Amino acid sequence: MSLCVLDEDEFHLCCQLLLQLSEQLGDGWSWEGGQEGYLRKTALRSVVIDSSSVWDYEGGGADNSCPSRSEQQEGEQEQAAVDASADTDRINGDMEDEDDGVCVASAGSSQLLQYEYHILHSCSYSTPVLYFRACTQEGRSLSLEEVWSSVHPNYRLRLQNSPLNTITLQEHPLLGQPFFMLHPCRTEEFMRPVLQAAQDQHRPVNYVLSWLSVMGPVVGLDVPLKYSTLLHPAAPPGSTEPG
């Protein structure tokens, strides 16, 4: 379905639009790198590193990254993370892991971390890809374990059971430095219903923005709902969607 693929030109168009909206909202996105570039945003987050959590993550696991059809769980639809934006940036010392059966010996402490998010285009998967890195105020890079520990409990179960969005350490394809990445290979699957619905309802849709609203909150990247109202200011019926 060509509906769900995002080629490089369309990616650029979506990014340009996102940048315009970001500017209006003061959301801090910028474009780096010229023609073959990426969207970039930094953010300070107050995060609890709950290092006593038990994770079965090891490097995304040999089988956890993008299982084949014969392995995957019954299709889990990723819905726009409405509840995400509420709490992700306001995790504090309160332990909220009632849902993952983890025995916590000591409460994790709240730290102020500097996050850097990049959105690139993958020519292999014809989707956007989210890369990020995080460091403490002293400049120490976070480890993969710490990043997994800082994922909001609402998402942990989803990440563990549905390897749609596995976090792994990867080499940034343009900068050559280690970054964390949310794996893109299942993007087409969760974008399909979103794009189909938009097409059926003759609503314009920005692929990158819709995609980001799903992926971003998992790693603490807030996508204010105001983007949506700016994008759809009472669109007249019958308006065609962009390419």
In DSSP terms, 130 is beta-bridged to 119, 182
Residue 37 touching other proteins (CB under 8 A): no
Selected from 22, 53, 64, 154, the binder of other proteins by CB under 8 A is 64
Size of the site for other proteins (CB under 8 A): 32
The stretch near other proteins (CB under 8 A) out of 11-19, 65-73, 76-84, 93-101 is 65-73
Q: Is 230 helix (H, G, I), strand (E, B) or coil?
A: helix
**Quick one: DSSP state of residue 61?**
-
The DSSP bridge pattern shows strands 127-136 and 178-182 to be antiparallel
Selected from 20, 73, 79, 177, the binder of other proteins by CB under 8 A is 177
Q: Is 114 helix (H, G, I), strand (E, B) or coil?
A: strand
Residue 35 touching other proteins (CB under 8 A): no
Residue with tokens 């332990």: 95
Selected from 35, 62, 103, 106, the binder of other proteins by CB under 8 A is 62
Contact positions with other proteins (CB under 8 A) in 82-141: 123-125, 141
The stretch near other proteins (CB under 8 A) out of 40-48, 90-98, 105-113, 171-179 is 171-179
CB 205 to other proteins: min, Å: 23
CB 67 to other proteins: min, Å: 8
Judged on CB neighbours under 10 Å (0-12, 13-18, 19+), 160 is middle
CA distance 156 to 100: 8
Judged on CB neighbours under 10 Å (0-12, 13-18, 19+), 92 is exposed
**Contact positions toward other proteins, by CB under 8 A?**
58-71, 123-125, 141, 143-144, 168-171, 173-178, 183, 185
